[in-house]
Structure 1
Amino acid sequence: MGSTSTIKQPGALNILTVIITATLLGACGSGGSETTTGTSQNTQSTAVDETNSSQSNTDADTASDNSDSDTDNADGDTDSTAGDGDTAPDPGDEDKGDSDTEPDDDEGGSEETPDSPDQNDTLAGWILNSDGATAAIMLDEAGQLAQVNVQAVSALEQSGQQYTVVTASGMPDYQVVVDEEMLSSLSSRPRAASDFATGSPQVAIGDVVEFGQDIGYNSNSSCALDAGQGYWPPGPVCPEVMDRTGTFPNQPTQNTDTCETGLGTVGFWVNGTSVYNWGDGQSYNNERIWQTLAPVAEQYDVDVCGGHAAQGDYHHHYYSSCLAKMVGDTGTGHSPVYGYAADGYAIYGPWESQGELAISSWEVRDYRASAPTGCSDGARSCVLNDQYDVSQGTRNVSSGPGFDTVVRTLSRNELVAENGYFKEDFYWNSTLTEQGGNYLDQYNGHYDEHRGYHYHVTARDDNGKLIPTFPYTIGDRFAGELQSNGLTSCGGIRPGGSGRE
């Protein structure tokens, strides 16, 4: 069967049936490639919130991010590949801002009121655990129930700069209610017979599932019995209490240099868990050319809240309905703050206003030879010289898989490598950013008079479901300058240390 290039919205993937011989490297870590030969029919999609309404998320307890992604259980690649070409409006430049001239101030609150000790001294929105609340299931190193969310928020002045210092366990206080759609999604996993110890999930409609509670999965051996075992699908390690501290500048400054986000922690969500970017540390044939996207390639490797751990660090790469519930994001106005990037800029949820989503300006390439983003043979045989400026043309590289090729992940799930499976399938369309309104810039952010410059979690509405769209949270580069005392440094390398993955 010949390969075809399908142009569609970023991250949306079709159902294809193929006879193939394919080689793939899997998820969030290095590993050997595998070859699959045979006939496979597979439904592939990006990570999707199974129960979240695109109009109003008022019943977020029933939401489930059971669209699995990213096994994150080994070492990965921290190399950066994107080129220069920052021509979008400068972050924080009011005169060049591209949207929200009349912002909607109706931002949702949180069932657990986010902490704001003093907005003049610290960044607002953190979910502070002021009474020592503990997890229902997960344990700390001493075998005691772990403290949840954020333990402390304090102000710091250093060299004339004001910072917010956040101390967190890395354990969220998530809870979901099983509904019919969630149960159906779990039961219909392509490898359910081996993913679950009894061949099917051990939950029923109406059950309340605590973070880390056994729902029947054959989890990684790192997961302790009655403390994580059975909550995560095969592959990812279990989360650990991190007890880490993040320092964020209160007044971020525009980055005048190219600073790529890289792998590992690129920010904190307001519940103290980690923000990770689009990457899973893997590439096709381990050649570091065609880099796989975590929310696509690892869609069967996350828990019911759309998260999992790498080296013990629990994180989300994309929108989570469980986090949306914690911050009270009902979709009836502009989303509240979901987290902060390492540069200090806030990350808001997906909503611009009631019924209006923020829109990524990254699009999938048209690979046809006649297209500016295409290759001479209409296949994955070339990459853009600069994903931020398509006028710079393309260069030939080792070919990636055909658009109808079935590839196998480290968790042994078979997926179709459609257009939108790899980072190199995307480019930033500056003309969309220039339209303003709900369109975001190359960093996945924009400016408004009420919030200043800020990022957005991005998703699109698909018949009442929120489907995460590339680049999912912040873009491939930080909009702001990273401080020497910051959470990470350019390229995902910790200051004074090795890469996170």
Structure 2
Amino acid sequence: MTLSVSNLRKFAGALTLCLALAACGSSSSSDDNDDTTVTNTAPTVNAGVDQTVDAGDTVSLSVAVTDDDSDYSIAWSQTSGTSTVSLDDLSSATVTFTAPSTDTEQTLVFEVSVGDGTNDPVTDSVSITVNAVETDAVISVSAGADQTVESGDTVTLTATVLNSDTEYTLSWSQTSGDSTLSLSDSSAASVSFTAPTVTDDEVFTFTVSVDDGVNDIASDSVSITVTTELSTSDESVWIINETDEVSNHILDSTTGIGVLVDVQSVATETVNNKEYTVVNSQGIPKYDTTITQDIVDAINNRPKASTDLVTGETTASVGDIIQFGEDVGYVSNSNCTTNAGYGYWPPGPDCPTESERTVYLPVEPTPTTEVCENGLSKVGLFVNGSSIYNWGDGMSYNSEGAWQTLAPVAEFYDIDICGGHAANGDYHAHQYTSCLADLVGDNGDQHSPIYGFAADGYPIYGPWESDGVLAVSAWVVRDYSADSATGCDDGERSCALVDQYDISFGTEEVSSGPAFDESVTTLSSNTLTAFNGYYFEDHYWDETLTAQGGVYLDQYNGHYDETRGYHYHITIVEDGDSYKAAFPYIIGTRFAGELEDNSVASCSTDNGSDMGPPP
């Protein structure tokens, strides 16, 4: 073997070492006493980078561990933060949690500890900053206003959710009440149920909760009072002025101060062993009307707009909220003054004035045993304290008394945007008024609430019998053809029914009325067509309709049901895309109940032909 100089030197060094140890190339027992020690190095830990998140975010924390034998354990914990969160797996390398909702920014600190069983545990921390939630972004919910209903009513509850920019779930539940009621859909924004039959007034409470997965669950409650048959003495049906609020535009003629609005007080009083509800008011309603395009068009398209309005058109614009008595541009009557009624009423009617009245209404009406025709002036009181008048305006064709004009027809251009006007200062309506419907919350989705009471004490409900179903008047328009039981020989207005309640009595000759296409002039000098139905004598009660029951009313424009007892209905009918008043409008031509000696009304005679001119 040939060796280089450098390899030779290495070989010599190795040989020298072997000789010194006397062990080169051989085994020795000294191997059994080898003290060599293996060292276990502590792991290194990194909890990750700090993060900034929003409420509701899913936050992930991951630890990076370096260890020489991969035999270690992990433990996560939260060490600081106003909110305590729940980590899904404290012993996993990766853990998650949902960032909490908070109205101020907060920092959550998490520590991870790693131990290998030999060395001391090694720790590291990570900070998570949770952004504040804006106060107005915190979700909230309203369950709606408390309601008073009657047994059998369909009650609708509607939740309004505010400040939610994310999806949410709703949940309705009944939280009080002696009986459990069935809700139509407890997860819908609007739910409905049928008010149960109760022997005494009973309160049911419902709670709606909303959860958007981000904010705390929000909730609100609403109370529904189910009453027995409502009467004049139930304060809940009256719109009572509890703050002495006054009108801004109808002023006391003596003091110049606004007249008190709505009803001032309702009390019960016993007179001659009979119980009465005593209602005090000054007859001025609180109507705030939002102007629509239909209202603007109705005012501007009047046949005498150029003279009825100061500038020939209304000063109101779509979207304006007009207070009762506020100027909308009319040339008003002389007793109306600037900012005190002038401009709210078309020419002709008076401006309303303070009308102190104390009205006695029997708590328990008595069915009438005699014919009691109702006449001009008050026949009842609306729940806001203003007056109810009957069908007539006191005028007749050529002032002969045979063909009496109907106020809702002949006074079409004489009423304000709420369908009313004043006579001798007494504000009243002869027909349905949408302004009052708005006040009592009647939108036609269930049986109408009470709009007022007739002088006999019976309640007057709005036009709806149930959801989308109108109560129907059994008064119909005559067929004037010669071969009709209600007609005249010449097919014209030359005869009148002997008895409008019983057509079997036939007809009798009277002074002729206008032809059905003839134009007639009203008190306000407007020209209208005298269509069939324009006059009182154009109508009769069809008892066969009443006999059908259900939605059909009787001769008094009322009927009975087990929930409400006997009651009247205001009547309207569909007219294209809208509605119009239907004869006899509010109550029939006669009272269904007896009038007491202290009644606000009195019986008239001769079917109202003695009513005379308007008050």
TM-score range relative to shorter protein: 0.7 to 0.9
Does the CA-based 8 Å contact 1:260-1:478 persist in structure 2?
Answer: yes
Contact 1:105 1:334 in 2 (8 A): no
Write the distance in 2 (CA, Å) between the matches of 1:119 and 1:368. 45
Deviations 1:311-354 (Å, cap 9, x if unpaired)? 10000000000000111112111000000000000000000000
Separation (CA, whole Å) in 2 of partners of 1:121 and 1:300:
33
- Alpha-carbon displacement from aligned partner over 1:410-431 (angstroms, at most 9, x marks no partner): 2111100010000000000000
Tell me the alpha carbon deviations over residues 148-203 of structure 1, each in whole angstroms, 9 at most, x when there is no partner. 00001000112221110000010000011111121111111110000001111111
Task: Flag the 1:359–1:410 CA change in 2: closer, same or farther, 3 A.
Answer: same
2:433 corresponding residue in structure 1: 320
1:209 and 2:344 aligned:
no
- Any residues of structure 2 matched to 1:87-166 within 5 Å, and which? 122-124=233-235, 125-141=237-253, 142-166=255-279
Residue pairs, 1:373-412, within 5 angstroms: 373-412=486-525
SS for the counterpart of 1:400 is coil
The corresponding residue for 1:287 is 400
Q: Residue 235 of structure 1: which of 339, 348, 361 is its match?
A: 348
The CA distance in 2 between the partners of 1:239 and 1:403, in whole Å, is: 35
**CA deviation after TM superposition for structure 1 residue 135, in Å:** 1.3
Alpha-carbon displacement from aligned partner over 1:256-308 (angstroms, at most 9, x marks no partner)? 10000111100000000000010000000101110000000110000000000
| Cα distance, 1:216–1:146 mapped onto 2, change above 3 Å | same
1:249 aligns to 2:365 (yes or no) = no
- Say whether 1:413 aligns with 2:526: yes
Contact 1:104 1:334 in 2 (8 A): no
In structure 1, how many angstroms separate the alpha carbons of the residues matched to 2:614 and 2:593? 20
Q: How far does residue 123 in structure 1 lie from its aligned partner after superposition?
A: 3.8
1:480 equivalent to 2:593? Answer: yes
Q: 1:121 to 1:367 in 2, by over 3 A?
A: closer
Report the equivalent of 2:218: none
Counterpart-to-counterpart distance in 1, 2:244 and 2:265: 11
Q: Secondary structure at the match of 2:381?
A: strand
User: Is the contact made by 1:214 and 1:226 (CA closer than 8 Å) also made in structure 2?
Assistant: yes
Counterparts of 1:351 and 1:203 in 2: how far apart (Å)?
31
Q: Is the 8 A contact 1:193 1:200 kept in 2?
A: yes
CA distance, structure 2, for counterparts of residue 279 and residue 169 of structure 1: 23
Q: Which residue of 2 is the match for residue 361 of structure 1?
A: 474
Once residues 416 and 232 of structure 2 are traced to their aligned partners in structure 1, the CA distance between those partners, rounded to angstroms, is: 36
Q: Supply the distance in 1 between the matched residues of 2:282 and 2:268 (Cα, whole angstroms).
A: 19
> Deviation of residue 120 (structure 1)?
8.3
Residue identity in the other structure for 1:325: D
C-alpha distance in 1 between matches for 2:438 and 2:538: 32
Number of residue pairs matched by the alignment: 387
C-alpha spacing 1:297/1:433, structure 2 compared with 1 (3 Å): same
Q: Which amino acid aligns with 1:319?
A: Y
Decide whether the 8 Å contact of 2:448 with 2:462 is kept in 1.
Answer: yes
- Cα gap change, 1:271 to 1:246, in 2 (>3 Å): same
> Could you say which structure has the greater relative contact order, defined with CA pairs below 8 angstroms and 6 or more residues apart?
1
- Decide whether the 8 Å contact of 1:104 with 1:353 is kept in 2: no
More strand by share: 2
Instruction: Give structure 2 stretches of 5+ with no counterpart.
Output: 1-192, 197-223, 606-611
- 2:436 is paired with a residue whose SS is helix
Aligned to 2:449: 336
Gap change, CA 1:104 and 1:275, over 3 Å in 2:
farther
| Residue of 246, 260, 264 corresponding to 2:377 | 264
Q: Which of the numbers 269, 272, 275 marks the counterpart of 2:388?
A: 275
Sort the Cα spacing of 1:104 and 1:397 in 2 relative to 1 into closer, same or farther, 3 A. Answer: farther
Counterpart in the other structure of 1:370: 483
Q: Deviation at 1:121?
A: 8.5
**What does residue range 28-39 of structure 1 map to in structure 2 within 5 Å?**
none
The one-character-per-residue Cα deviations of 1:7-46 (angstroms, maximum 9, x if unpaired) are xxxxxxxxxxxxxxxxxxxxxxxxxxxxxxxxxxxxxxxx
Contact 2:394 2:613 in 1 (8 A): no
The amino acid of 1:129's aligned partner reads: N
Contact 1:361/1:429 (CA < 8 Å) preserved in 2?
Answer: yes
Return the index of the structure with the highest Cα Rg: 2
Shift of 1:105: 5.2
Counterpart-to-counterpart distance in 1, 2:231 and 2:574: 36
Matches within 5 A, 1:35-114: none
Taking structure 2 as the reference length, the TM-score comes to 0.61
CA distance in 1 between partners of 2:194 and 2:572 (Å): 19
Separation in 2 of the partners of 1:500 and 1:420? 20
**What TM-score do you get using the length of structure 1 for normalisation?**
0.75
* Distance in 1 separating the partners of 2:380 and 2:522: 27
Amino acid across the alignment from 1:130: E
Which amino acid letter does the alignment assign opposite residue 160 of structure 1? N
- Which runs of at least 4 in structure 1 moved beyond 2 Å after TM superposition? 103-106, 118-121, 498-501
Deviation at 1:204, TM superposition (A): 1.1
Establish whether residue 463 from structure 1 lines up as the match of residue 551 from structure 2.
Answer: no
Kept in 1, the 8 Å contact 2:232–2:457? The answer is no
CA contact (8 A) 1:155 1:165 kept: yes
Q: State the alpha-carbon separation in 2 of the partners of residues 473 and 187 from structure 1.
A: 28
Contact 1:172 1:271 in 2 (8 A): yes
AA at the equivalent of 1:184: D
Which residue number corresponds to residue 454 of structure 1?
A: 567
1:98-124 Cα deviation digits (max 9, x unpaired) = xxxxx9759xxxxxx99x9x9789244
Q: Which shifted more, 481-490 or 121-130?
A: 121-130
Identical aligned pairs, as a percentage? 53
Alignment partners' CA distance in 2, 1:315 and 1:418? 26
In the aligned structure 2, how far is the partner of 1:448 from the partner of 1:267? 21
Task: Quote the offset at 1:367 in angstroms.
Answer: 0.2
Say whether the 8 Å CA contact 2:232–2:453 is kept in structure 1. no
Q: 1:432 aligns with which of 545, 559, 562?
A: 545
CA distance, structure 1, for counterparts of residue 376 and residue 342 of structure 2: 26
Q: Give the Cα separation in 1 of the matches to 2:509 and 2:370.
A: 27
* 2:535 matched residue in structure 1: 422
The 1-side partners of 2:512 and 2:231 are apart by: 53
- CA-based RMSD: 2.2
> 1:438 and 1:249 mapped to 2: Cα distance?
26
- Give secondary structure in 2 for the equivalent of 1:325: helix
Counterparts of 2:365 and 2:410, CA distance in 1: 33
